[in-house]
Structure 1
Amino acid sequence: MKKNSFGLRGLTLSALATALLSALPAWAVDPFTLRDIRVEGLQRVEPGTVFASLPFRIGDQYSDDKGTTAIRSLFGLGLFSDVRLQINGDVLVVIVEERPTVADVSFSGVKEFEADVLKKALRDIGLADGRPFDKALADRAEQELKRQYINRSMYAAQVVTTVTPGERNRVNLNFSVVEGDVAKIREIRIVGNRAFSESTLRNLFDLDTGGWLSWYTKSDRYSRAKLNADIETLRSYYLTRGYLEFRIDSTQVAIAPDKESMSITLNITEGDRYVVKSVALEGEYLGREEEFKSLVTLRAGEAYNAEDEASTVKAFTDFFGAFGYAFAQVEPTRDIDRVNKQVSFVLRAQPARRVYVRRINVEGNNRTRDEVIRREFRQLESAWYDSDRIRLSRDRVDRLGFFTSVEVDTQPVPGTPDQVDMTVTVAEKPTGNLTLGAGYSQAEKLSIIAGIRQENVFGSGNYLGVDVNTSDYNRQIVVSTVDPYFTADGISRSFDAYYRTTRPYTEQGGDYRLVTPGMSIKFGIPFTEQDTVFFGIGVEQTKIEPGNGLPLAYQQYSDTFGASSTSLPLTVGWSRDGRDSALVPTQGRLQRFNTELGVGGDTRYLKASYQFQQYIPLNKQYTLAFNGELGYGKGLGGRAYPLFKNFYGGGLGSVRGFDQGTLGPVSPITSGVQAGELVNIGGNRSIALSAEFIAPFPGAGNDRTLRMFGFVDVGNVYGENDTRANARDLRASVGVGLSWISPVGPLRFAIANPIRKFPGDRIQKFQFQIGTSF
C-alpha cells in the first residue's frame, strides 16, 4: 500500500515553485487512478471550495505534477496557512489548516477620524470582519492607518496592533493609536527669485505658515496635493509674465525630529524675461488664414504669456473642429533669441481629415429618458463634426442639474476614416428634494422653510414642487410645475399657484395684512443659446385686511378702490447670467429685466425692474463688484398705481446702514396706540447702486468661502407725489462687511455708516442675514 505525504507550511507563493522542485524527488509517487478524495481540517470553508480548486476528480489519473498544481491552487485561495497532501493507497487526503478569520476590528485613541472611515480604508486593503487574517495583512493595516494620518498632516501618529484569539479560530483586532499633534508648516522659502519678492510669491500659495484663522482654513497643514497646486500656480505666474525658461529645480520638505513642524523650500531658476518678436503660420489653414490670425492672442512686442500660447492653440483646434476636422493638430514651435531676449513663434497646422458624426450613444441614464438628454444636443447624427456644437451640447446637458458628471467621448469608426461615434456618459444624482429649514434676519425675523421638489419627475425632465415659507412680514405657499420642452423647439411652460400674506416693514407692528391668492402661467422662449425671454399671464386678488397699525395711505386706497382688488398681470422678462459662480462670483456679468403689466380686473398698472451686476477680477485674491437696480411703476388708464405693488429700499440688498424697507414715502397710522406715527409704505420708483471691493479675510488665505468687503451704497425710493426723483434726495453709506459660506449656508454681515442722510431716517449700522435649508 502506498502511503506518503507532503505539504507546505508558511511558504509564500513566490517561494513555492523553488521549494517544490527541491522536495519532489523525496516525495515522488507512481501515477495511479484516484478512487476517493477526502478533505480534513475544514472549519468554516465549504468543502466545495477545496474540490473546485483541485485539478483532478475521482477516477482521474494522479501524478506528482498534479499534486504540485493542487497545492499551488489551494494556497492561491488565501484561506489556508498550511496545505498537505497524504496518499493512502489510491485515496488522496487533503489536509488543510485554515487561516484565522477576523471577528471584529476596533480602534482606541482615535479622535481625528470616525471609526467607519478607518474601517472602510482597511476594507479596501482586504481587512474586514469575516475575512481571513495573517500577520502580513496586519502590517499592511498599520501602514494604511498611518497613511490616513499622514494625509491629515499628523506625522507623529503611532499605531500598535493587538491580536486576541477567539473561539472557532477567530481573532479580534484592536488598533491602539497615539495620534500626536498636527504637523504645522513652520516656514516656506523660495530660493532663486530675483524679479519678484519672496512675499509676493508666497501670497500666491494656498499653503502658508498659519494665522489666527488657520483653525478654519487649515492652510498651515501640509498636503502634497496642495503643494503641487501651489507649484503650478507659481509656474503659471512666471510663464504668464515672460519668463519662458522658468523652472523649479527642486522641492524640499523637511520634517522636524518631533514630527510636529516642517519647512518647505523651493529652489527655482527664473531665467530671462522674453518678448514676442513675431508669430507666423505654416501648414494648411483651409484658405482661412486671416480668420485664424484673428484668433492669435500672442502679440509681437509684448511679454511672452504661456496662457496666450495655450489659448491660441486651443482656439485653432476648436476652429478646425467647427469645420469638421476633429483630429486637427496645431504645434507651436519657438525660436529663442537669448541675446536679444526675444522669441519667435511658428504655428504649424495639419487639419488631417474632415469627419462626420455617425452615431450618438447615451450611457448611464438609468432613470432619465434618452430624449431628455438628446433634445439638449446641438450636434446631430450624420452631420459634420462641430466642436462648438459638441461643447455647447455637453454644457446644456450638464445645466439640466440631473447629473453629477457629463462626459463626451469621440471614437473613430473602424475601417471608416471619415466617421466618428460619440458616447455621452452621464452619472445620475437624486433629483428629489425634501427640505425643512429655518432662517433669521433682522428684517424678516424668524422664517420657516419647507418644501418637497422633484426636478426630474419620472425621468421626464419636468419639475414639480411645493414650497412653504413663513416670516414675520412675508408668508407664502407656492405649488409649481415646469415643462422645459412644452414644444419641440425648447419653449418652456410653467404653472404657479400661490397664497401670500404680507405687510410692509414696520417697527410699530400691527395685525393688518395684505392677502394675495393667485395663479399664473409663463412661457420661456430661447432666442439664442444665452438669451431667454419669458412671458406669462396670471390672475390674482389682493385684499387689504384692516387692523391695528394700518397706514392712512392703505385706508384711503381701500376707501377709493375697494378693499379687494382683482388683477390680470401680464409678465415679460429677460435674463442672461455670465457669472463664473452663482454663489461666490469673481468675474462675469448678470442682467435681469422684468415687466409686469396689469391688463384686466380692478387695476391697470405697469411695474418694471432691471438689475445689472458686473464682477471684475483684479487678481486671484481681489475682485471689484458693481450692482445696479432700477424699479419703476405707473398707474395706467387714469387709475392710481396700486400701493401693494410698491418698491422698498434700505437694508441689505439696497442701501445698507438704513433700516430695512424704511427709505421713501411715509404715511401716518390711522388707529391704535400708535395712531399718528409715520410708517414707510414704499414707492413706485426706486434706485440702488453699489460698489464693492472684495478681498480675502485676514488669515483665511485664498479661501473663497470666507471673504470681507468694503462698499459704497447709494439709493432711494420715490412715490407718485414726488414729482421729481431728485439726486439731492439720494441716501448714501459706506462700510465693511463679511460674507461666509458656512456649513449651515450663506451668512452676510455689514457695518455701515450713512454719509448722506436726512432727519427722520431710521439708521441701523449693523445688519446681518443668516439662513438656508438644513
Structure 2
Amino acid sequence: MKKNFIAGLLAALFVSSASAFEPFVIKDIRIDGIQRTEAGTVFSYLPIKVGDTMTDEKAAQAIKALFATGFFKDVRVEIEGDVVVVAIEERPAIAQIDFVGLKEFDKDQMTKGLAEAGFGVSRSFDRSMLERAEQELKRQYLTRGKYAVSITTTVTPLERNRVAINFNIDEGDAAKIRQINIVGAQAFSEKELLSLFQLRTPNWISWYTKNDQYSKQKLSADLESLRSYYLDRGYLEFNIESTQVSISADKKDIYITISVSEGERYIVSSVKLAGDLILPEDELRKSMQVKPGDIFSRERLNESTKAISDKLSARGYAFANVNAAPEVSKERRQVAFTVYVDPGKRTYVRRINVTGNTKTRDEVIRQEMRQMEGAWYDDERVKRSRERVDKTDYFSEVNIETPPVPGTTDQVDVNVNVAEKSTGSVSVGAGFSQSEGVILSGSVAQSNIFGSGRYVSLQLGTGKINRAIGLSYTNPYFTVDGVSQGFDVYHRKSNPTSLDYAYKTESTGGGIRFGIPIAEKQSISFGAAFDFTKVEIDREDSDTPVQYIRFSDKFCSSKNACGNVSVPLTAGWASDTKDSVLNPTRGALQKAIFEISPAGDLKYYKMSYQHQRYFPITRDMTLMLNGEVGYAKGLGGQEVPFFKNYFAGGPGSVRGFETSSLGPYEIKSGDVVHLGGTRRFIFNAELSVPVPGFGKDKSVRFGPFFDAGQVYADSESSVYDAGPVRMSAGLAATWVSPFGPLKFSLAQPLNKQENDKLERFQFQMGTTF
C-alpha cells in the first residue's frame, strides 16, 4: 500500500509538482484524532469529497481550510490507497477563566467582554487570542488611568484536552494628572483657560468626578472648548500647535502640555445677506447677532445662521442652507461676512408614524404633537412636539426623526419612536414619631391607566394626629382640543391636641376641576367643590387660642362641636416658559389662583399669585427670583376659618425658620402656638452655579440665597403679634438624583425675634426652587 504524508501548513502551501503521489479518484475520506469536534464539522470545512480527483493542490487546500478554522493545532493529510486520511490534533478548549486581583471592574462584565472579543469558555484555546485578551484587559485599565497595571497569565492543562486560564492582575494605583500647562497663552490667564477643562489636577471631589484621571476623549473635548473660547472672543486665527502627554517613570503622574498660537483679535467690518431671500431682508437681519464693529464670535455667528434657518424652517423650508463666508483682512485685523441663503423647496409633512408604544395608545402621543400631517414642516413645532410627549412622563426615551419621503424632494415623514416605562407606583411606609406615634401610609397611583393617558391615584395615611384617605382622577384630554377634567374625593381627620392645639377637625368632601389651554404655554383652570368640616374646640381649656374661641362662639354649639359646610369655587391661570423642568436657566413661571366660598356656613375668599423668573448670568450661572403674595378675607362679616390660614417658614418660603413657624401667635402655658394669618408675603433670591470639581455636570449645583417673608393677620386680629418681615441668608445645594430633585440648605436668620423657632439645616424633596 502506497502511503504518503503531507504534514504542516508550510508544506501544504509549498507543495510542488514533484509530489510523492499521483492524482487519483477519492473512494473514501477518514478523520482521525477528533475528540470534541464532530466529524460532520470537519467534513463541512473540507474542500474535497468522495468522487473528487485528489491532487497536491487539493491536499494543500484541505490543510489550509482546516487550519483557518482555528480549531486545530496540527493537521496532516495521509494517503492510503484510494482513501484520504485527515489526521488532526485539536486545540485544547477553554474550561474556565478566573481573575485574581480584579477590583476596578465587575468580573461578569469583564468575562462577557472577553467572550465578545472571541476569548471565552468553551472556545478553542489559541496563544494569539490569549495575547489579544491580555491587551484588551490592559486597554480597559488604561481607560481608567491605571497605567501601572500588570497582568500575569497562567495556563493550566486539564483532563480531556482542556485548559484553565488564570489572569493574575496587579491593578496598581490610578495615574493622576499632576500638571496641565498651556504654553503661548497671553490674552487670558492660564487659570481662566484651565477652568474650561473637564480634566483637572486632584482636588477634594476628585474621588467622585474622576476628572484627575487622563482620558483621550476628555482631552479632545477640552481642546475643543479651548478653541471655542478663543474663537468666541475674536481670535479668528487661533490654533493648537501641539499637545504632549507624558507619564512619570513610576507611571503614577501624568503631565499635559498644550502649545497654542493665539493670533490677532479680529473685528467684524460688515455683514451682508445674499442668495434667495424669500423673506424680507430686514426680518432676516433681526436674527443676526453679529453686527459691524463687534468683536468676532463664532458662537454668535453660528447662532445667527441657525436663527435664519429656523425662520425659514417655520415657513416650511426644512432643508434650507445658510452659510457664512468670511473675507479676512489681516492688515486691518478685520473680517467681513457674506451670509448666503438657499431656502430650497418648501417641504410638507406626509405622515406622522408612531412606534415603540406597546401599551400607550397612539392617540395619547398624537394629541401632544404640534406638527400636523399635511402642513408645512416646522422644526420648532417638531421640537415642541418632542418636548410635550416627553413631558407626559410616560416614556423613558422619546426620539423624533424626519426622513425625506423616497422619490420626492418636498416631503418628509415624522417618525416618533418611544420607549415605554413603568407609570404605576405602589408605596407603603411605616414610621414613628413622638407626636404621632406609629404612622402607616400607602398609595397606589397610575399616571397612564390602560394606556389612555389618564391619571388615577388612591392615598391612605394613618397617624395619631393626621389620618386621610383620598381618590384623584385626571383626564388631560377630556376634549380633543386639550381641555382637562378631573375630580377629587377625600376624608381627613386631624387631632393636634397632643401638640397643644386645642381643636380637632374632620373633613369630608370632593370636587371637580377643568383646565383649558389658552396658548401653547398658558392655561386657565376652574373648579367647584363641596366640603363638610366638623370642628371640635375645647372652649373651657385656658390654653385654647382666642381665635379658636371666636370661631367656636360663632359656629359651634355649647357642646364645643359643629359641622360647617363650604362650597369653594376656584379659578386659576398659569404660564410656564421655563426652558427646563429640572434645571431651568431662563424663562418664567407664573400662577394666579382665586378661591371663593360664597355659600354654606363658611364664607370667605383667598387670592394668591406666584412669579418665578430665571436669568442666565453666564453660561454656567443662573439667578433665580421668586415672589409670592396671598390674601384671604371672610365674606358677610365672617372671619376666615382658622384652618384656612396662610403659614410661612421652612423650605419653600423662609429657610432657617421652622416650618409654618412665622406669623401671628399666642403663648399658652409657656408654649408658642402659631396661628397663621390672612396675608402672606414671600421673596427668594438664589444664585445657582456648578459645584467646583464637577465640571459641566448640571445635576449637582449650589449657591448663596436670600429669603424674606412673613404672614400677617387682619387688623381686627392685631392682638396677635407677627413682628417684622423675617429674613435669612445661607447656602443651598441641589442634586437631581435618580429619586427626584433633592435640595439642602444651611441658613442663618438675619433678624431673629424672641419667640422664633429656628432650624438652620433643612431638607426638601421634589423641587429645585
| Same fold flag (TM > 0.5) | yes
Cα offset, 1:87, TM superposition: 4.8
In the alignment, which residue of structure 1 is the partner of 2:626? 627
1:760 to 748, 751, 755: 755
> Quick one: structure 1 residues 351 and 750, their matched pair in 2 at CA, closer, same or farther if it must change by over 3 Å?
closer
The answer on 1:97 being equivalent to 2:89 is yes
- Matched residues in 1 for 2:250 and 2:188: separation? 34
String of CA shifts for 1:609-652, please: whole Å, max 9, x gaps.
Answer: 32222222322443322121222222234443222222211122
String of CA shifts for 1:41-60, please: whole Å, max 9, x gaps.
Answer: 44444444444444566666
> Quick one: structure 1 residues 770 and 638, their matched pair in 2 at CA, closer, same or farther if it must change by over 3 Å?
closer
Cα offset, 1:728, TM superposition: 7.8
> Quick one: structure 1 residues 626 and 417, their matched pair in 2 at CA, closer, same or farther if it must change by over 3 Å?
closer
Which runs of 5 or more structure 1 residues have no equivalent in the other structure?
12-17
**Does the CA-based 8 Å contact 2:92-2:163 persist in structure 1?**
yes
In the alignment, which residue of structure 1 is the partner of 2:523? 532
**Does the CA-based 8 Å contact 2:435-2:498 persist in structure 1?**
no
Cα offset, 1:250, TM superposition: 1.7
String of CA shifts for 1:4-54, please: whole Å, max 9, x gaps.
Answer: 554656x8xxxxxx95354686376635355x5544444444444444444
- Matched residues in 2 for 1:707 and 1:636: separation? 46
1:522 to 503, 513, 518: 513
**Does the CA-based 8 Å contact 1:438-1:772 persist in structure 2?**
no
1:406-445 correspondence to structure 2 within 5 Å:
406-435=398-427
In the alignment, which residue of structure 2 is the partner of 1:252? 244
> Quick one: structure 1 residues 321 and 572, their matched pair in 2 at CA, closer, same or farther if it must change by over 3 Å?
same
Cα offset, 1:280, TM superposition: 0.7
The answer on 1:307 being equivalent to 2:299 is yes
- Matched residues in 1 for 2:436 and 2:607: separation? 24
1:579-590 correspondence to structure 2 within 5 Å:
579-590=578-589
Cα offset, 1:243, TM superposition: 1.6
Cα offset, 1:320, TM superposition: 1.9
Q: 1:492 is matched by which residue type in structure 2?
A: S
Cα offset, 1:317, TM superposition: 1.7
The answer on 1:113 being equivalent to 2:119 is no
Which runs of 5 or more structure 2 residues have no equivalent in the other structure?
557-561
> Quick one: structure 1 residues 636 and 772, their matched pair in 2 at CA, closer, same or farther if it must change by over 3 Å?
closer
Cα offset, 1:333, TM superposition: 0.4
The answer on 1:485 being equivalent to 2:477 is yes
Higher relative contact order (CA 8 A, sep 6+): 1
Deviates more, 1:382-391 or 1:177-186: 382-391
- Matched residues in 1 for 2:613 and 2:267: separation? 33
> Quick one: structure 1 residues 726 and 23, their matched pair in 2 at CA, closer, same or farther if it must change by over 3 Å?
farther
Query: Match of 1:384, SS?
Result: coil
Cα offset, 1:551, TM superposition: 4.7
1:359-398 correspondence to structure 2 within 5 Å:
359-398=351-390
- Matched residues in 1 for 2:100 and 2:661: separation? 59
The answer on 1:297 being equivalent to 2:274 is no
Query: Match of 1:383, SS?
Result: coil
The answer on 1:713 being equivalent to 2:707 is yes
> Quick one: structure 1 residues 280 and 373, their matched pair in 2 at CA, closer, same or farther if it must change by over 3 Å?
same
- Matched residues in 2 for 1:3 and 1:474: separation? 99
Q: 1:527 is matched by which residue type in structure 2?
A: I
In the alignment, which residue of structure 1 is the partner of 2:19? 26
Deviates more, 1:323-332 or 1:221-230: 221-230
In the alignment, which residue of structure 2 is the partner of 1:338? 330
1:5-44 correspondence to structure 2 within 5 Å:
6=6, 8=8, 20=13, 22=15, 26=19, 30=23, 32=25, 36-44=28-36
* TM-score between the two structures when normalised by the length of structure 2: 0.87
In the alignment, which residue of structure 1 is the partner of 2:203? 211
2:672 to 667, 678, 688: 678
Cα offset, 1:664, TM superposition: 0.9
Cα offset, 1:65, TM superposition: 5.9
> Quick one: structure 1 residues 226 and 213, their matched pair in 2 at CA, closer, same or farther if it must change by over 3 Å?
same
Cα offset, 1:178, TM superposition: 0.9
* TM-score between the two structures when normalised by the length of structure 1: 0.87
- Matched residues in 2 for 1:262 and 1:686: separation? 58
**Does the CA-based 8 Å contact 2:699-2:736 persist in structure 1?**
yes
In the alignment, which residue of structure 1 is the partner of 2:604? 605
Cα offset, 1:201, TM superposition: 1.3
Query: Match of 1:195, SS?
Result: coil
- Matched residues in 1 for 2:754 and 2:212: separation? 51
In the alignment, which residue of structure 1 is the partner of 2:159? 167
Cα offset, 1:572, TM superposition: 3.0
String of CA shifts for 1:459-482, please: whole Å, max 9, x gaps.
Answer: 333334445567897665554443
**Does the CA-based 8 Å contact 1:121-1:144 persist in structure 2?**
no
Cα offset, 1:241, TM superposition: 1.6
In the alignment, which residue of structure 2 is the partner of 1:654? 653
Query: Match of 1:303, SS?
Result: coil
- Matched residues in 2 for 1:339 and 1:347: separation? 23
- Matched residues in 1 for 2:593 and 2:434: separation? 28
The answer on 1:733 being equivalent to 2:728 is yes
- Matched residues in 1 for 2:304 and 2:416: separation? 27
**Does the CA-based 8 Å contact 2:23-2:53 persist in structure 1?**
no
- Matched residues in 2 for 1:411 and 1:702: separation? 33
Cα offset, 1:770, TM superposition: 6.0
**Does the CA-based 8 Å contact 1:205-1:230 persist in structure 2?**
yes
In the alignment, which residue of structure 2 is the partner of 1:644? 643
> Quick one: structure 1 residues 625 and 287, their matched pair in 2 at CA, closer, same or farther if it must change by over 3 Å?
closer
- Matched residues in 1 for 2:516 and 2:729: separation? 41
Query: Match of 2:750, SS?
Result: strand
- Matched residues in 2 for 1:460 and 1:730: separation? 48
Deviates more, 1:249-258 or 1:464-473: 464-473
String of CA shifts for 1:69-102, please: whole Å, max 9, x gaps.
Answer: 5555544544333444445455554444333333
> Quick one: structure 1 residues 333 and 104, their matched pair in 2 at CA, closer, same or farther if it must change by over 3 Å?
same
Deviates more, 1:720-729 or 1:649-658: 720-729
> Quick one: structure 1 residues 346 and 381, their matched pair in 2 at CA, closer, same or farther if it must change by over 3 Å?
same
- Matched residues in 2 for 1:319 and 1:733: separation? 46
Deviates more, 1:114-123 or 1:574-583: 574-583
- Matched residues in 2 for 1:437 and 1:193: separation? 59
> Quick one: structure 1 residues 586 and 418, their matched pair in 2 at CA, closer, same or farther if it must change by over 3 Å?
closer
- Matched residues in 2 for 1:106 and 1:159: separation? 13
- Matched residues in 1 for 2:18 and 2:472: separation? 84
1:239 to 217, 226, 231: 231
**Does the CA-based 8 Å contact 2:509-2:531 persist in structure 1?**
yes
Deviates more, 1:126-135 or 1:538-547: 538-547
In the alignment, which residue of structure 1 is the partner of 2:559? none
Deviates more, 1:679-688 or 1:366-375: 366-375
Cα offset, 1:732, TM superposition: 1.8
Q: 1:354 is matched by which residue type in structure 2?
A: R
In the alignment, which residue of structure 1 is the partner of 2:745? 750
**Does the CA-based 8 Å contact 1:611-1:627 persist in structure 2?**
yes
In the alignment, which residue of structure 2 is the partner of 1:229? 221
**Does the CA-based 8 Å contact 1:440-1:771 persist in structure 2?**
no
> Quick one: structure 1 residues 640 and 382, their matched pair in 2 at CA, closer, same or farther if it must change by over 3 Å?
same
- Matched residues in 1 for 2:462 and 2:104: separation? 40
> Quick one: structure 1 residues 59 and 111, their matched pair in 2 at CA, closer, same or farther if it must change by over 3 Å?
same
Deviates more, 1:729-738 or 1:275-284: 729-738
- Matched residues in 1 for 2:485 and 2:21: separation? 84
- Matched residues in 1 for 2:33 and 2:207: separation? 56
Cα offset, 1:752, TM superposition: 3.1
- Matched residues in 2 for 1:383 and 1:28: separation? 80
2:263 to 266, 271, 283: 271
